[in-house]
Structure 1
Amino acid sequence: MKCKPSRSDILIIGGGISGISASLSAAREGSTVCLVESNNELGGSIGENSQMPLDYASSCNDPFFRESGIFEEITTNLRLGNKEGTFTGQARALLNLVKTEPNITTMLGYQCLEVTPNSSEDRIDSCTIIDHLNSCKFLHRAEYFVDCSNGGEFSKLANVPGESGNPANTEPRKTVQNLFKSEVLIEIARSQNNLPFQCPDWINIRWENNLHLSRLSLMKSLEQQLCGFHRLEWISEDSNSPTPHELCWATWDFIKNRSNFKEVSQRLFIKRIITLHPNQSLFRGIGDYILKEEDLVQGNSFEDSVAVSRAPIRAINPCSTSSSKQIVLPDSFEIPLRSLYSPKIKNLLWAGSHASCEAVVSASLAHPPTLSLIGSAAGHCAARCIIDKRLPRTLSKSGHIEKLRRELEKKNHRTGKLLPHDENNLTTTARVYASTIWQDKNLLELMREPGMETDACLVQFPVTSARIDTIKLLIDCHANQRVDARLLEGSAQNPHIQGSCLGTDSFDSGKPGEQWVIFHFNKVIKKNGWYFLELRSNQNFKIIEGVHAPVGHLVQYPRKKCGISIDNPYSEYSVATAFTPHPHRCAIIEIEPSQKSYDASEMIAENSRPTNLPGLWISQPSQFSYPEFVEFHWSNPITISRIDIFFDPSFGYCTPPKPSFSGDEYAISLVKNYRIYFTNKDGKAKLVDEIKENTSAHQVHLFDACTIKSMEIEILSTHGLDRAQVFRVAAYE
């Protein structure tokens, strides 16, 4: 087979979420990118041949958890381009997104066979990629390589220093078993006739001898739906694991003949078997920093952080389908650039669970939203290395990393838990005015629906006043019952978690039915931020909820009532899982004194998402018969050539774990149509840009440099919400 030459600035191995994100990020910096994927479709672990979940519900303690940047773009494109809600539609939507970038060349169905280093063996010179089916072979050269492959297969071909397996056990009381895994994906279908099943003689295993967590995971999957896809895992200390077909038929023998499903499965049959290849070695590269479990648990910060993850941590246990061994961390964690490149192979970066980290951290990095953030950072870094003629190690150091992080943040990519100071933003010196501002009384105008029936819940709300005297809310009591309340402040470590109790009160309903409940606290408030009202009763009640709440107002329920199995030692409550791109629901609540959480001045703060406060401007309810607007005035004229606007994409809804269609293409809180006006130093106003059908939470407007005295953003409509919501506006010379 003749080997043809090919070349790109950057070669990315692996077409999963990290590879797609890395490709988009690098291509948008002007680099030519070649994206190589061994399957004939994009998606990697979330594709039909693996079907790992795209996200986990309630995986963190932040109710405003959604990633911004490229991952938000990916999920929006999945809603737009996969209205049939299938894996085939998902693969098409992902390919459509990649194809919009002219700098990206996709090579689907190609595998990397060999990696050739340079003469000094400190850089990759080229690699051989081949498509066996079509007899195509290429010798590909690139300046930088980003390994987004499954398990770091590309890095292993390049003989990159790394480690495999679990870390050495430092606790003498614990023993770490060497466990082996076999995996298979089966599709169950229904026939019109009874189909008895007899296990073949060559099957010498019984499903009942499998690890308990693997068996429990299958039972949960079958309880959700009998027909469809189910992931099977066999975990044992014996390296002689069953083949995928042995595992399939041993499991089917159990389901049809000995399980609690044997009656309802009489007409069921196995339609398809998809072989999976688990990464037994758990290869991880060794970078300049090894990300440790304690970094995640303690929430350590890094000067060279380029991504933030909200993934839970997994106890060292190979049963990947079971969420019972996943534990929510107290806060999100940062990922340093030093963990994403190889010190030995200077033109190689990692984007995946094979980055420089401990084994337990590796499982957390496999979280698809995290993979997208890592991929975006690695792709951008590779492109900047080419432009600046610098190595990744150089870019990770002080004097360089600040610029890299600012560039990523300007792409709405979150690099750290705290936003780097943006000293070039000109709006921070402006006086800001708005047409209208949301008031507490507007909560009473929200459409109302009864909430979940419960005997306990947690009402969250922002507080900006110096005291809280009374809290009044609307509930539906089932009987003459007592409701106990505790007023809690947000904890110092994570303001989204309940901290100290400031006061208690109780209320006797006296009658059943919908009624206002008043709690008296009369407490001094020492700091602005999130506060919580915990309600408990010896009988069930319902919070009357407001639909499409303003950012920061929400209700949390006991995790078990929400059907959430991921353990959370920090809170027993969670927001009910919702997959539609809508704002949260909230309690119909009145706080005395009233709060001022949505002022126009919030738009010149550093953050573009909620932190310890909502952090955005919200207008009063409007049908947009007349535009809502915000104005920025400067004492002295400024020169401006760029404006960044960060709208609200609704940070609190969940991405569906499997392909589906919610019916909503865009977050209803997104601003749809708007105009920008400049007023020059002579007082003349001019329309400089008008956007129709906006679909992005982050818009960048570039102009020829001009001198202005003021700027107005006029909002004409949203994608469905009856008010305007803007997080941040930044302007640059």
Structure 2
Amino acid sequence: MKVSSERADLVVVGGGLAGICAAITAAREDQLVHLVEKKSLLGGRIGPNHRQPIDQSNLIPQVYQRESGILNEVWPLFFKSNKEGTYLGISRALRDWVEAENKIKLFLNTEVEEVKTASGIINSVISRDNLTNERTSFVGKYYLDCTGIGRLAELSGSDGEKGVDLNEFGDVARDIPLKTSRVACLIQIAEGKDDYSFSLPDWVRLKWEENHLSARLNLMESLERSPTGVHLLEWEGPATTNEVEASELAFCAWDFLKNRSSFRKVFKKLRLVTISDEISTKPVFRANGLHRVSLDDLQHSESVDGAVVLARTLLREDFSMVSRVEEKKLLPHPVEIKPQCLISSDFKNLLLAGSSASCSELSSRSLSMPVVAAQMAISSAITIVSAVSQNRLPKTICKEGYIDGLQSKLGRLNQLFSRDGKEDTDNLSIGANATASSTVMGPSDCLSDIEQKIKTAHCLIQFPVGSSFLENLSLELMGQNHQVFSVKLMEGSGYHHSLPGNCIFVDNVKIASGVNQLEINLALPIKNKGWHFLEIHSNTDFVIPLYERGLVGYVLHDKKRGFYLNQAKSITEFYPVLTTSPKVSPSPMITLSPAPKDYEAGNLVNNYFRPNHLPQLWVSKPTNFKYSEFVDLEWKQPIEISRIEISFDPSYDFIYSGKPKSFEEDNFSSLVREYKIYITKENQASEMIIHQKENSLALAVHCFDPMEIKSLELEILSTHGLNRAQVYQIRTYA
């Protein structure tokens, strides 16, 4: 059969979130990219064929934990293009994103069957079109395996490993059957008109009660949300003589639901209408790289030199393949990943991402989470771009003397790559003086209407302290007359000071009759600037009102009560009350004296484009934008610039729900929509050089011919809904 040929700078195999992010990253760096996906729809694990969680909240204890960089474009894409809130809508939105890039050529229904290699180089990848049976040879300078199962690396003949490593926990014994069958599929349940009985076919060898407990619990929770609709079934149980089929799994579960479950009365009039093909549960092939990620690497508390990926994930604590969150361990910080695990040790032009990177088996499960795999794929793409531009091999780009350049390139994309970050020495704004039209001082300046009331007896209030002294603190709450509260003030500790640490103040405080304020006299010097936590406890319940349009950094953490299904093992007994929509989170009303100065324009000219141990952004006072808000940057001496980068606020506390959801909003309400940029030259002549009317990006980049300027003004005319301006950083470059 004739084989056609397609040539590209980069061939990305796998059209999930990781492959898409890698392709777009490389394409925007002027690389011709071919994106190859075996299914007819994009999305991979988060698409219609697998329906795994898109993201998950509270993966780490930091409130502002969501990734930045290119992933900030994904969520507004889902808001705007998936109003129906379906997995099919997710896939369509992702395709819209890919099709908008003219340097990407997309190949759907295209399955890789063969990889041709010679002398440590992949020469071509041979694929077959599942619809036409036509074969295509993809010839690229570089290849990136984003299949999630290591398909490309395995076909290339790379050395690696596959399957469970029972010694991965060392000497700690873990129970796992030596022979188990694994299968997963999707079923659709619909309402009917009559009572329907069901008898299990003789050829079905499975009994639902013999399934792994976690798989049974997952189904029960899905049915509790809604008995009708699509549900994921997983099987991990005793092995049979033949492989388990998806239909066997579906019918054994249906037999249980109709005849023996506590739901059987509800299921009398329900019908099983569709069963999907088997969802792959095959072991992942993990190619050997220049470094192998272990569980110890992921848990490492010290920062890693030369890291290129910083991501939120969970650690698996058993060998089961069932996707149950409770059996995973929460980490107190995001994990750092070295680039060497993304580079094949066998083929100079093969890079890896996600669960098929060079790692242990249990580590691969942590790296398989969509947002983690996407971060790794983006770093792999930038490594390839850097290798091409410098005419060096990827392994050289990751060595001392080159790695700083790779990290700088990631930083310019607002990609987090290490816990410590990196100073941007090319940013000319660092030396500028920043002033603003107005600045909010605290919640009392911008909060107006109560959004919700939280009834509790024990909670934490998180707030920023950027000063060296606190005189007193006032918190609005609703309690009983003369109710007594035990209060503690604690410094933040750990990564970004995001966990309660050393206690620096303790007292018992009584509220006066008819007063809804908890007044605390502190007279306290502050040794460590950053997040602080006020712990409040009483023998009687009280109410904390939360105000809409909350201020970044002011957060209520309520005490967890009872058992929360499908949540990882936590390292804290409190959980933050945060937004579940593109609108900003509500905030408690807390007043500090002296008035804080945490939101001043000076934040715009530091090295931070998102919150860390402090909010790190400029916030204007509330406005209807009848009169614009603005910030000015002025230099002592004229500078020459040709590029401006602005980091707006995309609500980093928002985490997209595990399943697709419909939102009324098209973007984060905190994001600036319309703005202008003026420059002033040494002759004092002011000139508008940019007028952006419909901004939808968290990172806005403007390039132009070099010009010498004395000052720069960012004028903000509107946002996507919030009644104030919020900006993290303005960067300028020669």
**Normalization by structure 1: what TM-score?**
0.96
**Structure 2 CA distance for aligned equivalents of residues 282 and 576 of structure 1:** 37
CA–CA distance in structure 2, aligned partners of residues 607 and 586 of structure 1 = 23
- How far apart in 2 are the matches of 1:570 and 1:554? 18
Report the counterpart of residue 391 of structure 1 in structure 2.
Answer: 393
Which deviates more from structure 2 when the two are superposed, residues 292-301 or residues 522-531?
292-301
CA contact (8 A) 1:151 1:279 kept: no
Report the CA distance between 1:470 and its aligned residue. 2.5
> Contact 2:324 / 2:566 at 8 angstroms: preserved in 1?
no
Q: Secondary structure at the match of 1:531?
A: strand
- Whether contact under 8 Å (2:183, 2:281) holds in the other structure is no
Aligned-partner SS, 1:251: helix
Tell me the equivalent position of 2:211.
Answer: 210
- Contact kept in structure 2, 1:290 and 1:357, CA below 8 Å: yes
Write out per-residue CA displacement over residues 365-403 of structure 1, whole angstroms, 9 at most, x where no aligned residue.
111111221121112222332232211101101121211
Q: Which amino acid is the alignment partner of residue 301 of structure 1?
A: S
Partner of 1:412 in structure 2? 414
1:489 Cα deviation after fit = 1.0
Residue 202 of structure 2 is aligned to residue 201 of structure 1: yes
- Within 5 Å, which residues of 2 pair with 1:671-690? 671-690=672-691
1:37-186 alignment, distance < 5 Å = 37-118=37-118, 120=119, 122-167=120-165, 168-169=167-168, 171-175=170-174, 177=176, 178=178, 179-186=180-187
Aligned to 2:645: 644
Alignment of 1:183-194 (within 5 A): 183-194=184-195
Distance 2:515 2:321 in 1: 46
Preserved CA contact (<8 Å) 1:327 1:566: no
Q: Alpha carbons of 1:56 and 1:379: their partners in 2 closer, same or farther (altered >3 Å)?
A: same
- Displacement, 1:560? 4.5
What is the aligned counterpart of 1:442 among 435, 441, 444? 444
Determine if contact 2:473/2:519 at 8 Å carries over to the other structure.
yes
C-alpha separation in 2, matches of 1:480 and 1:229: 53
Matched residue type, 1:581: P
Deviation at 1:272, TM superposition (A): 1.2
The one-letter code of the counterpart of 2:452 is P
User: Aligned AA for 2:158?
Assistant: V
Deviations 1:316-359 (A, max 9, x none): 33243311112210101111111101021110001121111122
Shift of 1:276: 3.0
Shift of 1:539: 2.6
Q: Structure 1's 561 and 73: CA in aligned 2 closer, same or farther, altered over 3 A? A: farther
Cα 1:525–1:666 shift into 2, 3 Å: same
Most deviating of 253-262 and 240-249: 240-249
How far, CA to CA, are the matches of 1:274 and 1:108 in structure 2? 20
SS of aligned partner of 1:35: strand
What corresponds to 1:16 in structure 2? 16
**2:325 aligned counterpart, secondary structure:** coil
Correspondence for 2:430 among 424, 428, 431: 428
Which residue number in structure 1 is paired with residue 313 of structure 2?
311
In structure 2, the CA distance between the partners of 1:494 and 1:294, relative to structure 1 (3 Å rule), is farther
What CA distance in whole angstroms lies between the structure 2 residues aligned with 1:482 and 1:577?
Answer: 27
**Which secondary structure state, in structure 1, belongs to the residue aligned with residue 53 of structure 2?**
coil
Structure 1 residues 474-525: Cα deviation after superposition (integer angstroms, max 9, x where no partner):
11226764332221111144411111222222334466x8711123333321
Equivalent position of 1:714 in the other structure: 715
Aligned with 2:666: secondary structure?
A: coil
> What is the rounded CA distance, in whole Å, between the counterparts of 1:601 and 1:562 in structure 2?
44
Which runs of 5 or more structure 1 residues have no equivalent in the other structure? Answer: none
Aligned to 1:688, the other structure's residue is in SS state: strand
CA distance in 2, matches of 1:200, 1:479: 67
C-alpha separation between the residues in 2 aligned to 1:441 and 1:208? Answer: 54
Take 1:480 and 1:202, find their aligned partners in 2: how far apart are those partners? Answer: 71
For residue 468 of structure 1, what is the amino acid of its counterpart? L
Q: Quick check: 1:553–1:584 contact (8 Å CA) kept in 2?
A: no
Q: Distance in 2 between matches of 1:396 and 1:204?
A: 52
Q: Is the 8 A contact 1:530 1:613 kept in 2?
A: yes
Secondary structure at the counterpart of residue 143 of structure 1: strand
Deviates more, 1:592-601 or 1:569-578: 569-578
Pairing of 1:573-588 with structure 2 (within 5 A): 573-576=574-577, 578-588=579-589
- Greater displacement, 45-54 / 411-420: 411-420
Residue 669 and residue 367 in structure 1: after superposition, are their counterparts in 2 closer, same or farther (change >3 A)?
Answer: same
Give the 3 Å change call, closer, same or farther, for CA 500–569 of structure 1 in structure 2.
farther
Give 1:330's aligned residue: 332
How many aligned residue pairs are there? 730
CA gap 1:151/1:671 in 2 versus in 1, 3 angstroms: same
Cα offset for 1:195?
A: 1.1
- 1:657 partner letter: G
- In 1, are the aligned partners of 2:181 and 2:244 still within 8 Å (CA)? no
Task: Confirm or deny: 8 A CA contact 1:457 1:535 kept in the other structure.
Answer: yes
Post-superposition Cα deviations, 1:669-691, rounded to whole Å, max 9, x if no partner, equal 11111111111111111111111
Tell me how far 1:468 sits from its aligned partner.
Answer: 2.6
Report how far residue 169 of structure 1 moved: 4.2
The one-letter amino acid of 2:648's match is F
Q: Is the 8 A contact 1:577 1:654 kept in 2?
A: no
Per the alignment, residue 613 of structure 1 pairs with 614
The residue identity in structure 2 corresponding to 1:184 is C
Question: Partner amino acid for 1:681?
Answer: E
Contact 1:450 1:542 (C-alpha < 8 Å) held by counterparts: no
Amino acid at match of 2:93: A
Alignment partner of 1:271 is 2:269 = no
Q: Which amino acid aligns with 1:643?
A: I
SS across alignment from 1:476: coil
Task: Determine the C-alpha separation between the residues in 2 that align with 1:117 and 1:321.
Answer: 36
In the alignment, is the contact (CA less than 8 A) between 1:458 and 1:556 conserved in 2?
A: yes
Partner of 1:548: 549
* Structure 1 pair 564–592 and aligned structure 2 pair: CA distance change class (3 A): farther
Q: In 2, Cα distance between the equivalents of 1:465 and 1:32?
A: 50
Cα distance in 1, alignment partners of residues 227 and 618 from structure 2: 47
Corresponding letter in the other structure for 2:164: N
Q: For 1:338-353, what aligned pairs fall within 5 Å after superposition?
A: 338-353=340-355
- Please tell me whether the aligned partners of residues 12 and 35 of structure 1 are also in contact (alpha carbons under 8 angstroms): yes
Report the residue type matching 1:123 in the other structure. Answer: I
Task: Give the aligned residue type for 1:672.
Answer: R
**Conserved 8 A contact 1:448-1:547:** yes
- The one-letter code sitting in structure 1 at the alignment partner of 2:92 is R
Which residue type is aligned with residue 639 of structure 1?
Answer: E
Q: Deviations over 1:235-269 (max 9, x none)?
A: 13536553211111111111111111011111111
- CA offsets, 1:404-440, max 9 Å, x none? 2211211222222232111111111111111111112
| Residue of structure 2 aligned with 1:372, choices 362, 371, 374 | 374
Tell me which amino acid in the other structure corresponds to 1:171.
G
**What is the CA-CA distance between 1:591 and the residue it aligns to?**
1.6
Task: Decide whether the 8 Å contact of 2:326 with 2:569 is kept in 1.
Answer: no
SS at match of 2:696: coil
**What residue in structure 2 maps to residue 282 of structure 1?**
284
Read off the aligned partner of 1:485 and give its amino acid letter.
V
Between the aligned partners of 1:491 and 1:193, the Cα distance in structure 2 is 60
CA distance in 1, matches of 2:622, 2:563: 30
**What is aligned with 2:656?**
655
Identity %: 33
Deviates more, 1:448-457 or 1:259-268: 448-457
> Structure 2 vs 1, CA of residues 313 and 718 (structure 1 numbering), >3 Å: closer, same or farther?
same
Q: Give 3-state SS (helix, strand or coil) of 1:432's partner.
A: strand
Q: Is the 8 A contact 2:336 2:419 kept in 1?
A: yes
Give the Cα–Cα distance (whole angstroms) in 1 for the partners of residues 294 and 360 of structure 2: 6
> Are residue 248 (structure 1) and residue 247 (structure 2) matched?
no
Q: CA RMSD in A?
A: 1.9
Greater shift, 309-318 or 177-186, is seen at 177-186
